[in-house]
Each structure stands twice: as structure tokens, then as C-alpha cells.
Amino acid sequence: MKKNTKKDNKLASAIVNIFELPPEAILNTPLITLTGRHSITLENYTCLAEYTPDHIKINTREGGIHLYGSGIAIKEISSDSIVLAGSFTRLEYEI
């Protein structure tokens, strides 16, 4: 039995649009919150793929997210969100 089918995703997307719900809550799309250049919260990630003080790669259901900067540190981590601190200079999406 498949967990997520295209039909299920289309139905969920339609529900999100009709009821004006936040897609990250229903569809598990990544939600990135930037606070200045020194704090990033990312919700709905699947795994932490790479980590150095200058680069971090976080995988999501929609692809990888690369964050670059200096002094990057993990402040909080749970099964669905991660809070990072540091001096961020660039964010890239991997499709």
C-alpha cells in the first residue's frame, strides 16, 4: 500500500486551497522562517544530510535545502523542525 499517491496529494492540495489552510500543516511542505541573517527555523524536514560550520544541507520532501554562512550551529532539533544560528549568506534549493 502506497503512503502518498498523486490522487491523495491532489485531494490534499484542493482542501488546502478551498479552506485556505497553511500548506505546510497539511502537505508537509517545508516552512523556512528567517530572522534577520542570524537565525533560521526549518519545519517539515526529512533528514540532516550534511553539516559543517560553513554549510548545512537539509533534505525535505521537495528536495534539498543548502544553507551557507559562517559559525552555523544547531540550536534545537526535533523530528520535524530544526533551529539554526550563525551568520547566513546564502540559501539554495536543490530540485
- pLDDT score, position 90: 96
Whole-structure pTM value:
0.76
Cβ 54 vs Cβ 17: under 8 Å: no
Q: What CATH architecture applies to the domain 28-94?
A: Sandwich (2.60)
Where are the chain's structural domains?
28-94
Say how far apart CA 92 and CA 60 lie, in whole Å: 13
Sequential DSSP letters for 10-29: HHHHHHHHHHT--HHHHS--
- pLDDT score, position 74: 97
Pairing of strands 63-77, 55-60: antiparallel
The string of pLDDT tens digits covering residues 37-52 is 999 999 999 999 999 9
- pLDDT score, position 1: 42
The string of pLDDT tens digits covering residues 49-88 is 999 999 999 999 889 999 999 999 999 999 999 999 999 9
**Gyration radius (Cα) of the chain, Å:** 15
